[in-house]
Structure 1
Amino acid sequence: MRILIVGGGVLGTLHAWQAVRRGHDVLHLEREPEARGASVRNFGLVWVSGRAPGAELTAATRSRELWEELGAQVPGLGFRANGSLAVLRTEAEHAVAAEAPGDRGFTLLDAAETRRLNPALRGDILGALWCPRDAAVEPRTAQPALRAWLAGTGRYTWLPGREVRDLTGQGVLDDHGERHEGDQVLLCTGAWLGGLVRELTGDLPVRRVRLQMAQTEPLGETLTTSVADGDSFRYYPAYRGPALNALNERQPQPPAAAAHAMQLLMVQRLDGGLTIGDTHDYAEPFPFDVTEEPYEHLRRVSEAILGRPLPRIVRRWAGVYAQTTDTSQVVHRRQVAANAWLITGPGGRGMTCSPAIAEDTAVAVGL
């Protein structure tokens, strides 16, 4: 078949990969010259550890397998199986880690064991929760690298700078007045929920979430794992239970972290710099500028864990992603026409779960 994919982010690109690997031809349309949304404004984390049991964990686990397979084929993805450490600085955080589910491959480490695994963590810590299943890719280069690999198959065409304005019985019509024919149309439009998407669906059970992040100069040493702080327990569903309830009651977040719904996630880029974040803002309209207070909090926590000054921040940015409000679903997927499906709303798990989401779409659509 000939598959038309609308949306050049990670979700659309992984759908293109699934279609090509199943023997189909793909035309991939993107309204911008290059994907600029949450797919490149994220940590690049393949994060299995914190996922909710059930469909979310299944998707994350399967995606972890597919990312490793892809990483071997496409070195430009920058895939590395570096694992993660959720660093523990208080007894309340340690209690949550001790209750962590047993199906993630977790190991609870003391401070000395943590530093042997990641010598860059020289701060005052009690230990860490180690998850070897977590991994990372390079978000700024992953999509271009995968597209270049797909183009080499002879079954893939990338067509940026084209906004799809309408569905036809045979494909789509773009804003240049050109018609593109295909057997199936997959709309992977990310946080863009207006225009044609709204016309086709009306109101969606999907909300938009804004986050702030930053990148530093090179650390000057290797951060051997991805790193999270104890606040990450508050935002990932895997850790819900009595110990987390006690943490929330007895150890409230600092005012800045609470006001911006923050956790610390830290991952080292291939150039040695650190990506740090993040915040969560759910109230639209979102501000057009970034706020400095969260960065000051991230610096304090990062320096407490590293036991050294954080390298100079060289980039700050905000991003917006779409998140399904149906907590039982990993993504919102619906058929919007006889020949078209909408796939959106993976939320903050988009980079993690896109390979499995695309695989499930291929089954649902019959590719």
Structure 2
Amino acid sequence: MAINHVDTVVVGGGIVGLAHALAAARRGDRVVLFERDEHAVGASIRNFGMIWAVGQQRGAIYQRALRSRDIWQEISAKTGLWAAPTGSLHLAQRPDELAVLEEFVATTAPARERGTTMITAAEAVKRGRAVREEGLIGAMWSPTEVNVDPRQAIPAVAGYLAEEYGVDVRFGTAVRGIAAPTVSTTAGEWRADRILVCSGNDFATLYPEVFAASGLVRCKLQMLRTGVQPDGWQLGPMLCGGLTLLHYAAFEDCTARAALDARMREELPFHREHGIHVLLSQTADGRLTIGDSHAYAATHDPFASEEINEAITTYLRGFARLPDPRITERWTGCYPSLRDGRTELVVDPEPGVTVVNGVGGAGMTLSFGLAEEVLAR
């Protein structure tokens, strides 16, 4: 049997795999990427499309997010991929929410240097067409966030890799096993100096012992989407409310967060129990994406809870007003998550093989920057 030779094999066609294929190709490698499904169907297309730098852990992870944002914009400029630099608004309706935002801005110089600032309620209403003025007492504006449409972006990046760098992108090709430097696939045997396993939610097939010891669990989420908004209506900045301040690592060190957490646990116990925080983004064709909830376990049932969906949409109505709020799509997603504070899992199970996983819900935000760091090791 003939054996194919390349410099780098990437396993997995989600955003993590695509990002590592790009990083390898930019180093001059001959790259082949294998994805078992005929097209992307996992977490990489089931998200908001938010490149959400402002929510990431301060320091190196924030810088990684900014680097990823730059790469998204580079790809957009070369391909016409829709990547809107909308920025984001964190809306405060209670004093404890405002206190967290004010503390974050006051104590986070890198964000301030990039334009993150507190604005008045009136200014927030002017910036965001969906912002509900009633009850709003202030907001945080961040200009660094970029909105992509994940269902378009993932295949567009795959096409860009093939056309710009000659990456051999093989969807519908399963990897049966790895014994470095050989990769056995349904498209034959391949040899490579570097093998990158970016298998996402399927982390039990290749190197199961690595994942058994990794601490990874699966996070199940629920999301919703409206139809196209009327008359070309545009959301503008992506939006979130007070619950989001309890979800993202950027705010964990804020001393004011404890009081907010205590109040939310008392007033919104269902939301806290089900990991609900509410974000709003828009797709390229004008639909609005709403979510989400978070449940962590090794295995999840496949069913969506309408009670969770109702909790999400009710909370959204408290800070946003949509021209046409009718829901046309509902779905669940599932992604690997590390619950101990690590932002990624990077392991070398044998010489020449690197496993990259566990980026959680920040894959769109962090993967391009992470891939450059992994390839530079």
What range is the shorter-chain TM-score in?
over 0.9
Q: Deviations over 1:323-366 (max 9, x none)?
A: 23442x431111122221100001111110000111011112xx
Alignment of 1:199-210 (within 5 A): 199=209, 202-210=212-220
**1:297 is paired with a residue of what secondary structure?**
helix
TM-score using structure 2 length? 0.91
Matched, 1:224 2:231: no
Deviates more, 1:245-254 or 1:208-217: 245-254
**Cα distance 1:205–1:284, how it changes in 2: closer, same or farther (>3 A)?**
closer
Give the share of equivalent positions with the same residue, in percent: 32
Q: Deviations over 1:164-196 (max 9, x none)?
A: 12113432002x372122221100001111122
C-alpha contact (below 8 Å) 1:84/1:225 kept by paired residues: yes
Q: CA deviation at 1:82?
A: 0.7
Aligned Cα RMSD in Å? 1.8
Partner residue in 1 for 2:178: 167
Matched, 1:306 2:320: yes
Alignment of 1:1-367 (within 5 A): 2-76=7-81, 78-100=82-104, 101-102=107-108, 103-105=110-112, 106-124=116-134, 125-153=136-164, 155-174=166-185, 176=186, 178-199=188-209, 202-220=212-230, 221-240=233-252, 241-252=254-265, 253-307=267-321, 311-327=325-341, 329-364=342-377
Q: CA deviation at 1:109?
A: 1.3
Distance in 1 (CA, whole Å) between partners of 2:217 and 2:100 is 29
C-alpha contact (below 8 Å) 1:186/1:341 kept by paired residues: yes
Gaps in structure 2 of 5+ consecutive residues: 1-5
Distance in 2 (CA, whole Å) between partners of 1:210 and 1:354 is 20
C-alpha contact (below 8 Å) 1:262/1:279 kept by paired residues: yes
**1:215 is paired with a residue of what secondary structure?**
strand
Distance in 2 (CA, whole Å) between partners of 1:304 and 1:94 is 16
C-alpha contact (below 8 Å) 1:303/1:310 kept by paired residues: no
C-alpha contact (below 8 Å) 2:11/2:175 kept by paired residues: yes
Distance in 2 (CA, whole Å) between partners of 1:302 and 1:169 is 49
Q: CA deviation at 1:200?
A: 5.6
Distance in 1 (CA, whole Å) between partners of 2:322 and 2:157 is 37
Q: CA deviation at 1:91?
A: 1.5
Distance in 1 (CA, whole Å) between partners of 2:256 and 2:363 is 28
Q: Deviations over 1:115-141 (max 9, x none)?
A: 111133134122211111111211111
C-alpha contact (below 8 Å) 1:123/1:304 kept by paired residues: no
Code of the residue aligned with 1:21 in structure 2: it is R
Distance in 2 (CA, whole Å) between partners of 1:116 and 1:177 is 55
**Cα distance 1:16–1:239, how it changes in 2: closer, same or farther (>3 A)?**
same
Code of the residue aligned with 2:295 in structure 1: it is D
C-alpha contact (below 8 Å) 1:211/1:319 kept by paired residues: yes
**1:196 is paired with a residue of what secondary structure?**
coil
**Cα distance 1:232–1:279, how it changes in 2: closer, same or farther (>3 A)?**
same
Q: Deviations over 1:191-217 (max 9, x none)?
A: 111122305664223222111111111
Distance in 1 (CA, whole Å) between partners of 2:151 and 2:178 is 30
Code of the residue aligned with 2:245 in structure 1: it is F
Q: Deviations over 1:74-118 (max 9, x none)?
A: 222x21111000111112211111111433132111111001111
**1:231 is paired with a residue of what secondary structure?**
helix
TM-score using structure 1 length? 0.93
